[in-house]
């Protein structure tokens, strides 16, 4: 496994208005907007309904390839941690471990991501115990997750509670830690920020229950360019991955 770095990114912006939050009103008018429902059973195919068409989630296991001089498909996985335990109410929120069902879900979602070929080369994660345990289980189940570069970012925990901050904060973190040759990044964190960021980036209304992942894609010679070209609402929502969804 690559070296794990515990770090703190730039402190979350305290100003409520940023590049993405200013565009929220425009996103609501975006013709690509969709409602991606997350059913309680989680059973069904990974289909995204848009105003224009219906796109079936691709199950290709091929990793996108490109030369550094070409425009590359950049894939972003926004994964919410697995379900945590509330048995011990005296434990502070940051230190809550996973529940038994949460541990099982982490196993399933790692296997589903593997089947779909969405394996990250870079993983940026909140340092909260429930996100660290989610990642550890995924690494134990799928060898490919061990090969990714990992950074634990303390600000991922706090920024998720701030309205309109998460999408911009994730952009900063990804651009800071990624390199041009890294084509798939996974960011692990918390609601409400994670589903808000997925919605802002894609222009869809995304609901992320525990251990659900939004799969987003944009193009660019670098991650900076991909974010710049796509802008808010311009990332393609390829689907949602859930523990109990058949792949």
């193009």: which residue's tokens? 219
Rounded CA-CA distance 47/64 in Å is: 21
Asked whether residue 22 is marked as a ligand-binding residue, the answer is: no
* Residue 235 Ramachandran class (φ > 0 left, ψ -120 to 50 alpha, else beta): beta
Rounded CA-CA distance 187/124 in Å is: 5
What would the DSSP string read from start to end of 36-84? E---SS--S--EEE-SS-EEEPP---PPP---TTS-EEEEEEEEEPPPB
Rounded CA-CA distance 92/233 in Å is: 35
- Binding-site residues from annotation: 130
- Binding-site residues from annotation for substrate: 130
């Amino acid at each position: 496994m690559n070296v794990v770095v515990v770090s703190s990114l730039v402190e979350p912006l305290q100003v409520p208005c940023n590049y993405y939050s200013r565009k929220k009103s425009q996103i609501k008018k975006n013709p690509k907007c969709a409602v991606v429902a997350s059913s309680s059973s989680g059973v069904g195919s990974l289909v995204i309904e848009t105003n224009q068409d219906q796109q079936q989630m691709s199950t290709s296991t091929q990793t996108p390839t490109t030369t550094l001089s070409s425009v590359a498909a950049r894939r972003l996985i926004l994964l919410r941690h697995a379900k945590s335990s509330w048995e011990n109410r005296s434990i502070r929120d940051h230190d809550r471990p996973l529940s038994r069902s949460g541990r099982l879900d982490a196993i399933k979602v790692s296997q589903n991501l593997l089947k779909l070929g969405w394996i990250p080369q870079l993983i940026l994660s909140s340092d909260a115990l429930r996100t660290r345990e989610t990642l550890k289980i995924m690494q134990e189940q799928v060898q490919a997750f061990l090969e990714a570069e990992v950074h634990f970012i303390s600000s991922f925990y706090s920024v998720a509670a701030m309205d309109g901050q998460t999408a911009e904060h994730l952009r900063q973190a990804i651009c800071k830690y990624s390199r041009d040759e890294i084509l798939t990044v996974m960011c692990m964190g918390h609601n409400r920020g994670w589903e808000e960021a997925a919605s802002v980036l894609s222009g869809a209304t995304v609901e992320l229950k525990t251990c659900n992942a939004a799969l987003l894609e944009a193009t660019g010679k670098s991650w900076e360019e991909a974010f710049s070209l796509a802008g808010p609402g311009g990332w393609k929502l390829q689907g949602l991955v859930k523990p109990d969804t058949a792949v």
